[in-house]
């Protein structure tokens, strides 16, 4: 009997990370899904993350961290409104300062304890919101910091920060996941859902998701407030 290699996968409850989880499963990893209750406005994504992890047969852990302690984002400060899609140039108000740096740091810690060398994250450079912490240069720099900041450096190996969606369009991501049997009805992407978890249909994240399903020719299972 062989032991499966372990991987830590950042799972938000969104479309992208559900696809990443399916890719890690396809690659034969034992799955350790990590989510964060960070004070996000769209907290309903945590139930989606649990459902996505359960559907993939992953062990799932939700870490609570209070990024509202300092805010600085439309997602972690109720005084900052979620912008409409395409309403501003540059890094949008939904950018959460250093979020992926924090998330990957926790993933590295869990990986070190588990003896896992692979960490998966659903960052993307094509249909994305312009966040600096989703770019390949950041992922490469993080991998080096993780190597040097853990026992990996003394044992002469490196963490593999796997970002398999990096260069895919939203439509390609949806086709990839659909082929792997991902049930996107379990996922949620909206930054500004209503109390019932229905998507607003107007934020950046809704726009990217809706256009992705249309371009992929896959029926959009999203529950919108306004159809």
% helix, strand, coil for the chain, step of 5? 40, 15, 50
Comparing CB distances to a copy of itself, the nearer of 61 and 215 is: 61
Comparing CB distances to a copy of itself, the nearer of 71 and 197 is: 71
Half-sphere exposure of 163 (CA within 13 A, CB side): 20
Q: Which two tokens stand for residue 210?
A: 């809706």
H/E element, 105? helix 99-114
Rounded Cα gap, residues 109 and 94, in angstroms: 26
Cβ of residue 45: shortest distance to a copy of itself, in angstroms?
19
Comparing CB distances to a copy of itself, the nearer of 112 and 118 is: 112
Cβ of residue 151: shortest distance to a copy of itself, in angstroms?
6
Positions in the binding site for a copy of itself (CB under 8 A): 61, 63-67, 69-72, 90-91, 95-102, 104-106, 108-110, 112-114, 132-133, 135, 137-138, 141-142, 144-154
DSSP class of 67: G
Q: Which two tokens stand for residue 118?
A: 């692979």
Cβ of residue 5: shortest distance to a copy of itself, in angstroms?
18
Cβ of residue 34: shortest distance to a copy of itself, in angstroms?
10
Cβ of residue 40: shortest distance to a copy of itself, in angstroms?
14
Going by C-alpha positions, the residue among 15, 12, 94, 81 that lies closest to residue 45 is: 12
H/E element, 61? strand 59-64
Taking every pair of C-alpha atoms in the chain, what is the biggest distance, in angstroms?
56
Comparing CB distances to a copy of itself, the nearer of 154 and 227 is: 154
φ, ψ for residue 93 (rounded to 5)? -65, -15
Comparing CB distances to a copy of itself, the nearer of 99 and 175 is: 99
């Amino acid at each position: 009997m062989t032991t499966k290699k372990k991987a830590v996968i950042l799972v938000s409850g969104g479309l992208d990370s559900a696809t990443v989880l399916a890719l890690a499963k396809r690659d034969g990893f034992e799955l350790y899904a990590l989510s964060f209750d960070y004070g996000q406005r769209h907290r309903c994504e945590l139930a989606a993350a649990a459902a996505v992890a359960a559907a993939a047969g992953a062990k799932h852990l939700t870490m609570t961290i209070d990024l509202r302690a300092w805010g600085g984002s439309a997602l972690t400060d109720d005084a900052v409104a979620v912008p409409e899609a395409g309403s501003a140039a540059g890094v949008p108000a939904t950018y959460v300062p250093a979020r992926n740096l924090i998330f990957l740091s926790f993933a590295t810690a869990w990986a070190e304890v588990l003896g896992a060398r692979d960490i998966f994250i659903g960052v993307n450079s094509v249909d994305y919101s312009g966040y600096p912490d989703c770019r390949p240069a950041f992922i490469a720099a993080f991998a080096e910091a993780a190597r040097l900041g853990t026992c990996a450096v003394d044992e002469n190996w490196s963490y593999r920060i796997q970002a398999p969606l990096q260069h895919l369009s939203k439509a390609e991501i949806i086709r990839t996941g659909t082929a792997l049997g991902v049930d996107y009805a379990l996922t949620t992407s909206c930054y500004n859902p209503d109390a019932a978890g229905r998507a607003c249909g107007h934020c950046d994240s809704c726009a990217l998701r809706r256009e992705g399903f249309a371009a992929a020719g896959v029926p959009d299972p999203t529950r919108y407030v306004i159809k």
